[in-house]
Amino acid sequence: MRINEDAIALFCSGLKTIGAISYNKGKHQVTREMVLDFNHGLFTDTIIPDSSSYNTDMCDFQTVGRHLFTPNQMWLNRDLVNSVANIMAKYHG
C-alpha cells in the first residue's frame, strides 16, 4: 500500500506549479513559496475511466486530497483552491 501512497504523492506534486511570490505585509515585504497553478487537464485525464491516461491507482481521493492540500502550504488565491476542490468533488462525488 505504501507504493500507491508514494505514487499519489508524486502525482499530486506534479499537478501543482509552485513558485515564489512577494507581497507586502504591513511595512515588510514577504516572499513565500505557494501554489501558483494546478494542472486540471492532467488531473481529469488521469481519473476519468474513459480517458486513455486513466490510472485507477490515482483514484484514492482521500489520499489525493491529503497530498494536494498539505498543511501550511499557501495557494495563490481562493479561486484556485476552489477550482481544485470542485474538480475533486465532481469526480469523487
Burial label for 93, CB within 10 Å (0-12, 13-18, 19+), is exposed
Residues 61 and 37: beta-carbon distance below 8 Å? no
CA dihedral 9, 64, 40, 10 (to 10 degrees): 10
Query: Tens-digit pLDDT profile for the chain (93 aa)?
Result: 466 899 999 999 999 999 999 999 999 999 999 999 999 999 999 999 999 999 999 999 999 999 999 999 999 999 999 999 999 999 997
Res 81: pLDDT: 98
